[in-house]
Amino acid sequence: MRACLAGVARLLVAALVLALLMAVAPARAENWTVASEDYFPPYNFTERGKRTGMDTEIVDAMLKDIGVYPVHRPMAWPEVVRAHDENEVDVAFQFFTSPRRLERGHLVGPYRVGATVLMVRSNSEITYARIDDLQGLRVGVVDGFEYTPEFDKSPLFERVRSSSNVVSFRRLLLALLWQFLREGAR
């Protein structure tokens, strides 16, 4: 009987020690793979080896709130879309809510409100109030982006596709440089 009580006592002490260790051990957060466009300042970019930016910080805070540690995978936007659609990542951002996106994934948000705007050179006479204002123009768009349904379906203008907003912006600057060089040569 004494041996039996000693065995039970040892089991209780072991269970108590295990419970105490679990109570004081730091909780281990689950890691989630997070995809976002590699360079889209001020929303997401890498600075000194760390992912940062307004949207990155919002997403990190939301994940931290549910006890998840983000493992960031910056990539070109078409790769973000593909990785999301093929379930290679746990989270991907920034998506525009559209019927197609709603079919392909669970969207949470919006976590911030913004607007898609048309960027033109400062000396441009282009104005934009309606989709008809774009007739005959060349408009830079990012592969994989979804804009408004009216914009996405419009046959009125030529879409000049690129892998990122930065590429489209550089093309806009190069066109300005080309115009300056051409006018300067006269």
Cβ pair 32, 70 in contact under 8 A: yes
Query: In 3D, which of 113, 99, 106, 4 has the Cα closest to residue 55?
Result: 113
Rounded (5°) CA angle 145-47-120: 40
Query: In 3D, which of 60, 67, 55, 74 has the Cα closest to residue 28?
Result: 67
Query: Quick one: pLDDT at residue 67?
Result: 96
The two beta strands, 45-47 and 30-37, are unpaired
The percent of the chain in helix, strand and coil, each rounded to the nearest 5, is: 40, 20, 40
The residues, ordered by sequence, that sit 6+ positions from 59 with a Cβ below 8 Å of its Cβ are 34, 36, 70, 91, 93, 111
At 160, the amino acid letter reads V
Query: Quick one: pLDDT at residue 115?
Result: 72
Encode the chain (186 residues) as per-residue pLDDT tens digits. 555 545 544 544 444 444 444 444 445 569 999 999 999 899 999 999 999 999 999 999 999 999 999 999 999 999 999 999 999 999 999 887 778 788 887 788 888 887 777 788 788 888 888 999 999 998 989 888 888 889 989 999 999 998 888 888 888 888 755 555 545 544
The two beta strands, 50-52 and 45-47, are antiparallel
Cβ pair 96, 146 in contact under 8 A: yes
Query: Quick one: pLDDT at residue 54?
Result: 94
Cβ pair 138, 158 in contact under 8 A: yes
Predicted TM-score (pTM) of the model is 0.67
